[in-house]
Chain A
Amino acid sequence: QVQLQESGPGLVRPSQTLSLTCAVSGDSVISPDSYWSWIRQPPGKGLEWIGFIYSSGSTHYNPSLKSRLNISLDASKNHFSLKLASMTAADTALYYCVRGRPATRFDYWGQGTPVTVSS
């Protein structure tokens, strides 16, 4: 059974960089069939795709976040990570890490980690 678990700070100050990590079990982050995405959901709102990283290390980002975003993977720890710079209140959301097979077929989701941007 594939499981994903997000970890990171629940509170980030405005203008700082958010760092989240997703630990994967039951699959390998370098599996050629899997795309590893981050998806977020602001309070009371809908889903927004942030970006994904493929096993080769290639990435594809949401154009609206591209300038602030970096997604990486660590095969030795079997996890992947998100860094989102210049955080504002608009980035307050529940952040999910998700497996895609292929990219848009999100078949396994983490439980989500809440992130609040506030001074």
Chain B
Amino acid sequence: QSVLTQPPSASGTPGQRVTISCFGDTSNVGANYVYWYQQLPGTAPRLLIYSNNQRPSGVPDRFSGSKSGTSASLAISGLRSEDEGDYYCAAWDDRVLGGVLFGGGTKVTVL
């Protein structure tokens, strides 16, 4: 099963803006909502963004999502040390034997 494509790493200094991309195709990202999950060290993942650009209650507005065509992005503005961790995108794949696809994950480092 194919995965969505994310850069393996991203970094920034406190206060900076960091953007993470997620590339798919017309059967997944291009056809369905994209979701983003944050996994801090030693913890279970947490829903960060749903339906491309919606934040669950409790998620700071420093986190924002967008989608255009077959790619999506997660932006973290005002980067903070506690944002350091792994970030995953996910989308449903419409192929006959599809299902939920995850990106490979992006490790965000706060310098």
**Within residues 17 to 57 of chain A, which ones have a CB less than 8 A from any CB in chain B?**
37, 46-49, 51-52
Report the count of interface residues on B (CB-CB < 8 A): 28
CB neighbours of B56 from chain A (8 A): 107
Contact partner of B105 (CB less than 8 A), chosen from A37, A46, A61, A112, is A46
Given A46-B88, A63-B1: A106 in contact with B101 (beta carbons within 8 A): no
Are B1 and A96 closer than 8 Å at their CB atoms?
Answer: no
Contact partner of A47 (CB less than 8 A), chosen from B33, B45, B46, B99, is B45
Specify which of A37, A48, A51, A104 lies most central, judged by the most chain B CB atoms within 10 Å of its CB.
A104
Specify which of A62, A64, A103 lies most central, judged by the most chain B CB atoms within 10 Å of its CB.
A62
Given A47-B37, A47-B102, A49-B101: A104 in contact with B45 (beta carbons within 8 A): no
CB neighbours of B90 from chain A (8 A): 47, 49, 104, 106
A111 adjacent to chain B (CB < 8 Å): yes
Are A104 and B33 closer than 8 Å at their CB atoms?
Answer: yes
CB neighbours of B88 from chain A (8 A): 46-47
Nearest to B47 among chain A residues (CB) is: A107
Number of A-B contacts (CB under 8 A): 63
Given A49-B101, A51-B99: A62 in contact with B1 (beta carbons within 8 A): yes
Expressed in whole angstroms, the minimum distance between the Cβ of B78 and any Cβ of chain A is 25
- A66 CA to B98 CA, complexed, in Å: 11
Contact partner of A109 (CB less than 8 A), chosen from B45, B98, B101, B104, is B45
- A107 CA to B100 CA, complexed, in Å: 14
Nearest to A35 among chain B residues (CB) is: B100
Expressed in whole angstroms, the minimum distance between the Cβ of A83 and any Cβ of chain B is 18
- A60 CA to B104 CA, complexed, in Å: 21
Expressed in whole angstroms, the minimum distance between the Cβ of B103 and any Cβ of chain A is 7
Question: Chain A: residues with CB nearer than 8 A to chain B?
Answer: 37, 46-49, 51-52, 60-64, 66, 96, 103-107, 109-112
Provide a sorted-by-A list of 13 A–B residue pairs whose CB atoms are within 8 angstroms: A37-B100, A46-B103, A46-B104, A47-B45, A47-B105, A48-B102, A62-B99, A63-B98, A63-B99, A64-B1, A105-B50, A106-B37, A112-B44
